[in-house]
A and B are shown apart, each in its own frame.
Chain A
Amino acid sequence: MEHSFLDELSVIDSPIHRLEARTKIVAFTALILAAVFLPPELTWPFAGYLGFLAALIALARLPLLPLLKRTAVFGPFILTAVLLLPFTRQGNGEVALAIPIGPLQVRIYRAGLLSAKGVLLKSLISAFSVILLVSTTSFSRLLRALERMHFPRLLLTVMALLYRYLFLLLGEFLRLTRASRARNWEAGSLRIRLRAIGGILGSLFLRTYGRGERVYTAMLARGYDGHFRTLTETSLSRRDYAAMAGLLAAVLAVFVPAVVSTAGFWS
């Protein structure tokens, strides 16, 4: 059974793929933070960042369609906020548009529209940054880089095991549902179907539990003592430092003028 993987695009070879994972983590984190703190009144800094990301995507030779599909995963979260904010966020109460529906009036607030725009653009930049990061870095490199950046070890272990076993579990789930469908599960009454789902979930839980025990035994058998030791990975090269400096400079080149222009700092 084939499943798509988080980092299936990370096998492509490109200048971005070749960068050490830490370089990319630092650069994209900076980009996300900068985007989040941009004042939503402006448009050009967001356009600048989106253009920057588009250039990086081109440089990384990533295929566009899978990339957009991944972005779509964030769609429901982004859209919920973007669609609700114009109606709920009143700000100073200034109404941009009032739509009469019978005796009621639906108001769209200017402050809400502004927030919605900010949320939409900031989410898109964040989503693209994260997708670019995981599409150009294999998951194990990412984890090792995070470890060297002193990310909590336990969380990394959980992530590593999740990455390894998620699709195995998914496969088990699919086999269980297929087996129940093979016995005409869909033709049964709602009660029977619900009971079958209970059975599937229960047996999935038991299998997972058993798997956990066996994996732990296998880890102990190879000398695991509760302390995860990891490989010492490649160090940051001069190219990495240069790339990191370049990426951060690009982020700041947009961020600083944008913040200065709205803060009225020099006026």
Chain B
Amino acid sequence: MGTAIQIEGLSYSYHDGTQALNDLRLTIQEGESVGLIGPNGAGKSTFLLHLNGSISNTAGNTVMIHGLPVIRRNLKEIRRLVGIVFQDPEDQLFSPSVFEDVAFGPLNLGYSGEELHARVHRALSAVGIPGHLEHHLAHHLSFGEKRRVAIATVLAMDAQILALDEPSSNLDPEGRRTLIDLLKGLPHTKLIATHDLEMALEICERVVLLDKGRVVADGPTECLLQDADLMRSHRLEVPLSLKLGRRRLVEAGVQD
């Protein structure tokens, strides 16, 4: 297993001078599932957009994906490797039909004919979208379906790294459950920016806490999310499941 993502001192400020990322350092191994947590405005989305060069103002080897620096020359390969699933599926699904949306990436990679169709079908069935929805307009899908089609659009490109921005937002509990089970079943390297800490507990073995554009904590999910002081000082809170779990242990007379 090699290194999937390596970030060395990434800084970024918006046009208005807001410092979104500040000397960010992070290494993620292939196959890891990492939760990216932090308060609003911590720089989570901005960070994700750096992974495929959607935003970039740095030169050189600041961001490396599978050993490739994210620079203009490598963008085509980088964008195949890194599949970003945006927060609003309406932004990601822009074609007149589900099929065309999923085919968009592979087409840009030069696939056509049988191979293209096979890719689209594989991706859609991997996310559990039945074939009869293929020719529907995204507008007619349920929100959960839209989100899963959005994931299919990057699976069809053979992405190795999935970078998801708030994947469980706006989903009903059943839609959220379907999504979590789906993500747990995908073997990809996953980086999930989210406020849904319960989901992070379930999917990610490691979380990275981002605040003011810096990594302030990085460790095993359960360990880190239990740290009430750390959570509170970054506008987060200990997930209820962890609180309850600990209380039960205390009630049962077990030392924590």
Contact = CB atoms under 8 A, between A and B. Distances in A.
Contact of B153 (A139, A164, A220, A222): A222
B238 to A, nearest CB: 33
Contacts of A143: 96
Interface residues of A, number: 28
A163 interface: yes
Nearest to A223: B108
B251 to A, nearest CB: 47
A140 B116 CA distance: 17
B88 A214 contact: yes
Contacts of B105: 222-223
Contacts of A96: none
Interface string B93-134: 111110110011101110011001000000000000000000
Interface stretch (A112-120, A179-187, A227-235): A227-235
Interface string A206-233: 0000010011011111111100011110
A215 B94 contact: yes
A151 interface: no
A151 B99 CA distance: 22
B204 interface: no
B180 interface: no
B243 interface: no
A47 interface: no
Given A223-B76, A232-B113, A160 B88 contact: no
B157 interface: yes
Contacts of B230: none
A160 B96 contact: yes
Given A138-B135, A222-B154, A230 B94 contact: no
Contact of B95 (A140, A214, A217, A220): A140
> Could you say which of B49, B88, B91, B138 has the most chain A C-beta atoms within 10 Å of its C-beta?
B91
A167 interface: yes
Given A140-B96, A164-B96, A223 B84 contact: no
Nearest to A220: B54
Contacts of A211: 90-91
Nearest to B109: A223
Contacts of A138: 96-97, 135
B137 interface: yes
B239 to A, nearest CB: 30
B47 interface: no
Nearest to A165: B94
B100 A225 contact: no
A68 interface: no
A140 B107 contact: no
A161 interface: yes
A163 B91 contact: no
B195 interface: no
B116 A231 contact: yes
Interface in A129-162: 138-140, 143, 160-161
Contacts of A221: 52, 54, 79, 83-84, 86
Contact of A5 (B80, B107, B137, B138): B137
A168 interface: yes
A160 B96 CA distance: 6
Given A138-B135, A223-B80, A231-B100, A218 B112 contact: no
A231 B107 contact: yes
Nearest to B76: A223
Given A168-B139, A223-B109, A218 B94 contact: yes
Contacts of A225: 108
Given A164-B139, A168-B139, A219 B94 contact: yes
Given A138-B135, A218-B84, A231-B103, 8 more contacts: A140-B97, A140-B135, A217-B54, A218-B94, A225-B108, A229-B107, A229-B108, A231-B107
24 contacts: A138-B96, A139-B137, A140-B100, A160-B95, A163-B96, A163-B137, A164-B96, A164-B138, A211-B90, A211-B91, A215-B94, A217-B54, A217-B86, A218-B86, A218-B92, A220-B54, A221-B83, A222-B105, A222-B108, A223-B76, A223-B105, A223-B108, A223-B157, A224-B104
**What 6 A-B pairs have minimum CB-CB distances, sorted nearest first?**
A223-B108, A140-B96, A222-B105, A214-B91, A229-B107, A218-B92
